[in-house]
Amino acid sequence: MSLPKLYLNRIAEFDWLIALEFGRVDDGQASDHWRGVTESFGFLLDSPGGSEVGFKIVDFSDFDPEHPEVAVIWSEPHFDVPLLGLTGASAGEIVTAARPLLGEGSTVNRWYFDAAVKAEGEEALSLWLACLQAGDSMAHFALGYTLYELGRHHEAYRHLRHYTEIAPAAAWNWCWLGKAAEAIGELTEARVAYERAIELSEDDDETDAPELLERLRGPGEMDTHPDPRFVTVSGRNGLVQFDLDRLRPKERELWHQTFPEGFVDGVDDPGEPPALRLYSFAHICNLAAFGCPAVITEWMEAIGADPAAYTKYLDNVRRARGR
């Protein structure tokens, strides 16, 4: 099995070293995606209880990799770090190699990042793009809102949606996705994004999502005629869109019979989560002798459900009926 290839991000201003699998960010990660070793060192996980995909160190200048309380960083997990010429290296080896090479300054991506923060308009756009090209995936967020402010809403939507997928636990990420989705007419997705932003908001990090959602719900603002081909739901790692055209004609007809009022209008219903509704539809297809459509299994995986649970669901149904 290949090891995660880490991208090194040294932020001298905060005295952090962030070493994560390329394409990942430390921003917007739920607490259950971290495995702390000490107050200054933690591993990022690909899922709760999952595999390590990198680590972050705060107070890097004072961090002592030889201290007994961080002895575990010299064993598994192991990573590849192309910048350092390391393969199969422990976190301890990575820290030891990075310190003399990187010195006390920031990595090049932060030069573009810091310059972009001070710039505006097209200049900011060029700098954020350079930051992204330098490997810093956090630039997707700023590139997205800069494109939005320049009126390039479809491009903004692409970057902001991707950022909620890699940083799903931050309120502002969802709020900006809502703005971009609303600007291109994806009103159902905008509403879901605003609602998610409100759920994630804390007292010290409130967004303007409540006001934006209220405006969207105002007279004439709601999407009263959404495209019937698509259903948008909130999955474990962000929004997921189902394309009903991927169902066969008989399956699609059965879908509309099963959900005559829509798939809860694309909003996750705590009383009947999307996974359970998909399990139910797969069971109905089986009863109709269609078999479980392969695309339904794909959608289950996309929203973070366990397709194997469908088998358990069938067993429970048969048991309830005395079969």
Please report the domains of the chain, with CATH numbers, ordered by start residue.
6-102 (no CATH), 108-216 (1.25.40.10), 230-320 (no CATH)
Question: What is residue 62's predicted lDDT score, i.e. its pLDDT?
Answer: 95
Q: What tokens appear for 149 in the block?
A: 């402010």
Give yes or no for residue 222 having a pLDDT over 50. no
Question: What is residue 284's predicted lDDT score, i.e. its pLDDT?
Answer: 73
Average pLDDT, the chain: 85
Question: What is residue 270's predicted lDDT score, i.e. its pLDDT?
Answer: 44
What percentage of residues in the chain have a pLDDT greater than 70?
A: 79
> Using alpha carbons only, how large is the chain's radius of gyration in Å?
23
For residue 255, give the nearest of 205, 223, 290, 226 by alpha carbon: 290
Question: What is the spatial distance between Cα 182 and Cα 174, in angstroms, rounded to a whole number?
Answer: 12
Q: Are 132 and 140 in contact (CB under 8 A)?
A: yes
Give yes or no for residue 314 having a pLDDT over 70. no
Out of 38-52, 71-85, 227-241, which region has the weakest mean confidence (pLDDT)?
Answer: 227-241
Q: What tokens appear for 41 in the block?
A: 């060192």
Q: Grade residue 3 by pLDDT with cuts at 50, 70 and 90.
A: very high
Rounded to 10 deg, the angle between the 274-287 and 249-258 helix axes is: 120
More confident: 162 or 232: 162
Question: What is the spatial distance between Cα 188 and Cα 196, in angstroms, rounded to a whole number?
Answer: 12
What is the per-residue pLDDT across 192-201, written as a single tens digit (0 to 9) for each? 999 999 989 8
Question: What is residue 268's predicted lDDT score, i.e. its pLDDT?
Answer: 42
Pairing of the two strands 78-81 and 86-90: antiparallel
pTM of the shown model: 0.69
In angstroms, what CA-CA distances link 23 with 171, 262, 281? Answer: 20, 35, 35
Q: Are 279 and 285 in contact (CB under 8 A)?
A: no
Beta bridge partners of 243: 230
Give the count of beta carbons closer than 10 Å to the beta carbon of residue 49: 9
What contacts 2, CB < 8 A, 6 or more positions away? none
Question: What is the spatial distance between Cα 211 and Cα 208, in angstroms, rounded to a whole number?
Answer: 6
Q: What tokens appear for 40 in the block?
A: 């200054």
Burial of 125 (0-12, 13-18, 19+ CB in 10 A): buried
Q: What tokens appear for 201 in the block?
A: 């908001």
Question: What is residue 2's predicted lDDT score, i.e. its pLDDT?
Answer: 92
Give yes or no for residue 82 having a pLDDT over 80. yes
Average pLDDT for residues 135-150, to the nearest whole number? Answer: 96
What is the per-residue pLDDT across 50-75, written as a single tens digit (0 to 9) for each? 999 999 999 999 999 999 999 999 99
